[in-house]
Amino acid sequence: MDYSLTIIVPLFNEEENLRRVEEKMNEYISMASVKCQVLFVNDGSKDNSEELMIAICERNPNFNYISFEKNCGLSAAIKAGFDYSTTNLTGYIDSDLQTDPFDFESLLAEIDHYDLVNGFRHERKDSGIKNLSSLVANTVRNWFTNDGMYDTGCPLKIIRTDYAKRIPMFSGLHRFLPAMIMLQGGRIKQVPIRHFPRIAGTPKFGLRNRLVKPLLDCFAYLWMRKNYINYKVSKTS
C-alpha cells in the first residue's frame, strides 16, 4: 500500500495505554484524508509494553514497530522514527493520548505550504506546576531560537520527511524541531489543537527535565546554529 504519512508513536512503559492507542489510531486511519501507517518505537520499556506492541502490529497491517535494546530517551525514539520513515510526511504523537490523532487533520490542512506544522495545546489539561514549568521553558527557548513557537514540546507534529532526516539529533532536541527546520531554510507554522488529561500510565518528565536540562540544551542549540552546515546543489551530473 502506498502510504503518505508515517505516524511515530514513541513509548516507554505505557502498557496501560496501548490498547487505547490501537483503538484511536485505527479510528483515525479509517477516516484520515491521507493514507497513514503507525510506527511504534519502544524505548526499552520494562513493563509489558513490548509484548502488547508486537501483538498489535501482528493483527493490524497498518502498524509496525522498532524496539530498542535499552532506554535511550525520547529524542532517540523520534530520531529512529525519522530514520525508518519511508513516506513523504512523518507525524509524531505521544502514546499517552493527551493529544488526539484526529487533530492531525488540522496539521495536514497546512502542510502543503509548510515544512513543519506544530500543534500547540491552547487549553492544557495538566497540573498548574506542569503548565508553569512548560511556559517558562518555552519562553526561554524562544529567547534562544526565535522560532515564535508557543509550545515546541507539543506531542503532535507533521514534518516533511526529507527535512526530518536531515536534522542532526542530540538528546533533548525533540524540543527544538521547529528551530532545526528553520536552520534548513524550512517554513514552519503552529495551529491550535485539543489537549486531554492523562488517564493512564505515569508521566515521564518532571520539573528538572522540563527546566534545567532544556536550558542546557539551549546552549547546545546555539553552538549547532553557529556551526550548522546547510547547502543547496545548483547542478549535478
The pLDDT value recorded for residue 217 is 80
Q: Cα(37)–Cα(91) distance, rounded to whole angstroms? A: 10
pLDDT beyond 70 at 6: yes
Q: Identify which has the larger pLDDT, 217 or 204.
A: 217
The pLDDT tens digits of the residues spanning 48-85 come to 999 999 999 999 999 999 999 999 999 999 999 999 99
Q: How confident is the model at residue 129 (pLDDT cuts 50, 70, 90)?
A: low
Element (H, E) at 164: helix 161-165
Q: What pTM did the predictor assign?
A: 0.85
Dihedral, CA of residue 209, residue 77, residue 199 and residue 16, to nearest 10: -130
The pLDDT tens digits of the residues spanning 98-111 come to 999 999 999 999 99
In DSSP terms, 9 is beta-bridged to 40
Q: Cα(114)–Cα(236) distance, rounded to whole angstroms? A: 26
Residue 166 grid coordinates:
536531515
Q: Average pLDDT, stretch 161-181?
A: 88
pLDDT beyond 90 at 190: yes
CB 66 within 8 A of CB 42: yes
Report residue 130: phi and psi, to 5°.
-70, -45
Q: What one-letter code names the amino acid at 153?
A: G
- Domains of the chain in start order, with CATH, are 5-227 (3.90.550.10)
HSE-up (13 A, CA, CB side) for residue 25: 31
CB neighbours of residue 14 within 10 Å = 28
